[in-house]
Homo-oligomer: A and B are copies of this chain.
């Protein structure tokens, strides 16, 4: 099912009854090992380290660099706690990071900025959207990202850092954070693309060969769009208020870029609306084609029945065994009956024609 009903709710309620601020990972355990990578870069050089252990993290943070620490896997709460202690993060933030049922939002704590949002990807095997929570902490010259599992939409950013493409190496942490947000909103576009293809296929099917499974497909696409809309809606709100906020975390250089991501998120919202309208218009189309088909089936039945029932009746009449049925003895009796039947058929066909039944 495409609606992600149960999963998110279960997460939340698993925690019900615990003291707030308790760090329990609420969500599916999606990876075995917590996997930490670190990238530090400035205009001149890039340092990249895979599989960092939590104790040696500080060794890789360089004061003259932008440092991006990425943590894949949230089930090992102790790792998060170590980082929380090191950077003096509020317990509620740590709780939000491990509890994967958050709405996208940002919170400005003065010392650091906390952003949480959803990264979506389309799982072709199960034909559903996979949703993963990404938390971003922006603190001094460090950007820390928390993901539920390895695999993300940030490879292009890594490549740009490695190959010094674009402006990323020249700018500061705020541009790094922006790049992450931009990559996530871009991931919504790739979902949109997939859905657009599904809808186009569906449209073809509705026009060419309407089958009852169309309704299930529409149900499923509606579910996808709903997930996308929910993820994008709150993100859009958040990006909008970030773009208008007077936070110190984003320099004047990067602010126009933030407006740009907000514009993109608006674009996603527009497209989702279009898709939703289109899908329900397709449902109308399908239902109307079904009722049209039923109509034509009924017409065939009615035409056949209306023509033959009276004829059969006449045949029945002359199949009666009354002794005294003078017509039976007439020489032209039999041909006359055929004649009468022929005339009746012609009349009825004419009437159907006049009523535009075929």
Listed in ascending order, the chain A residues whose CB lies under 8 Å from chain B are 1, 3, 5-6, 8-10, 12-13, 15-22, 90, 92, 96, 101-103, 105, 107, 155-156, 160, 165-168, 178-179, 182-183, 186-187, 189-190, 192-193, 196-197, 199-200, 203, 207, 212, 215-216, 218-219, 222-223, 226, 230, 234, 256-257, 259-260, 263-264, 266-267, 270-271, 274-275, 277-278, 281-295, 297-302, 304-306, 308-313, 315-325, 327-331, 333-334, 337, 357
Are A267 and B309 in contact, with the CB atoms below 8 A? no
Are A319 and B308 in contact, with the CB atoms below 8 A? no
Q: State A286–B257 Cα separation when bound (angstroms).
A: 47
Given A3-B278, A315-B319, 13 extra CB contacts under 8 A: A1-B200, A5-B271, A6-B200, A9-B271, A17-B186, A103-B267, A215-B284, A297-B299, A304-B306, A315-B317, A316-B316, A320-B334, A322-B327
- Which label, helix, strand, loop or mixed, suits the secondary structure of the A interface? helix
Q: State A90–B321 Cα separation when bound (angstroms).
A: 98
Q: State A192–B179 Cα separation when bound (angstroms).
A: 36
Contact of A21 among B167, B193, B263, B266 (CB under 8 A): B167
Are B196 and A1 in contact, with the CB atoms below 8 A? no
Are A305 and B301 in contact, with the CB atoms below 8 A? yes
Contact of A288 among B160, B199, B215, B267 (CB under 8 A): B215
Which residues of chain B are near A295, meaning CB under 8 Å?
290, 293-294, 297
The smallest C-beta distance from A96 to any residue of chain B, in angstroms, reads: 8
Q: State A306–B310 Cα separation when bound (angstroms).
A: 11
Are A189 and B320 in contact, with the CB atoms below 8 A? no
Which residues of chain B are near A179, meaning CB under 8 Å?
19-20
Contact of A16 among B190, B216, B259 (CB under 8 A): B190
